[in-house]
């Protein structure tokens, strides 16, 4: 007879108690299901990504690469390191993404004339066309997700989110770039 995995059994019996205990806590950190703000933010982000990917599939563009195009559309030409920070991706992870986008003719990388180790990245005409084509559909999808939410509630939401962002930026002490 196989041994039982006591840690797995303990975790399975403890998890519902943990959710119940956190849901009963009079705390702003947990919702009524025991989820934290980062947890629900990640869940909502993943749901948005899944819906956005359906739209981007028409252009065979992975959602992860869309973020590079959006930053470049907003910021213009930026160096590769700043771009990866603004997208929130490690600079080494940016290389395959930029390779793909460059092969598709969406972006162009050029060496920094003052430092040949660095590259500037800019959106090409085809990249601009793609952003201009996809942005309205993506904006409509986001708007649809806000059905039933009043303008007043949205103003409160934005106020709260901006305050959380400011608090986290202050906690980061300059370690991150936020777009």
pLDDT value, residue 101: 97
Inter-CA distances, 38 with 18, 33, 46, 90, 140, Å: 17, 14, 12, 20, 25
Nearest CA among 105, 100, 97, 108 for reference residue 67: 97
**179 and 137 in one domain?**
no
Number of domains the chain is built from: 2
User: Is there a domain that residue 126 lies in?
Assistant: yes
**168 and 100 in one domain?**
no
User: Is there a domain that residue 3 lies in?
Assistant: no
Domain with 168, as residue range(s), is: 150-179
What pLDDT, in 10s, does the model give residues 61-86? 999 999 999 999 999 999 998 999 89
Token couple for 50: 């899944």
Higher pLDDT, 68 or 11: 68
User: Is there a domain that residue 139 lies in?
Assistant: yes
What pLDDT, in 10s, does the model give residues 125-174? 999 999 999 999 999 999 999 999 999 999 999 999 999 999 998 998 86
**158 and 129 in one domain?**
no
Listed as own residue / partner, the contacts of 155-161 with beta carbons closer than 8 Å and 24 or more positions apart are none
What pLDDT, in 10s, does the model give residues 79-125? 998 999 899 888 888 999 999 999 999 999 999 888 888 899 999 99
Q: At residue 16, does pLDDT exceed 70?
A: no
pTM: 0.76
Report the percent of the chain where pLDDT is more than 70.
82
């Amino acid at each position: 007879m196989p041994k039982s995995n006591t840690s797995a059994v303990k975790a399975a019996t403890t998890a519902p108690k943990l959710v119940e205990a956190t849901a009963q806590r009079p705390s702003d950190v947990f919702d009524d299901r025991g989820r934290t703000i980062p947890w629900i933010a990640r869940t909502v982000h993943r749901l948005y990504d899944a819906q956005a990917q359906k739209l981007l599939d028409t252009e065979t563009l992975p959602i992860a690469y869309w973020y590079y195009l959006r930053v470049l559309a907003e910021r213009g030409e930026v160096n590769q390191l700043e771009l990866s920070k603004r997208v929130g991706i490690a600079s080494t992870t940016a290389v395959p993404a930029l390779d793909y986008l460059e092969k598709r003719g969406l972006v162009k990388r050029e060496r920094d004339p003052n430092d040949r180790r660095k590259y500037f990245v800019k959106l090409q005409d085809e990249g601009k066309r793609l952003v201009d084509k996809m942005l309205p559909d993506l904006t409509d999808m986001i708007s649809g997700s806000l059905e039933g939410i009043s303008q007043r509630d949205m103003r409160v939401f934005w106020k709260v989110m901006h305050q959380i962002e400011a608090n986290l930026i202050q906690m980061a002490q300059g370690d991150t770039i936020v777009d």
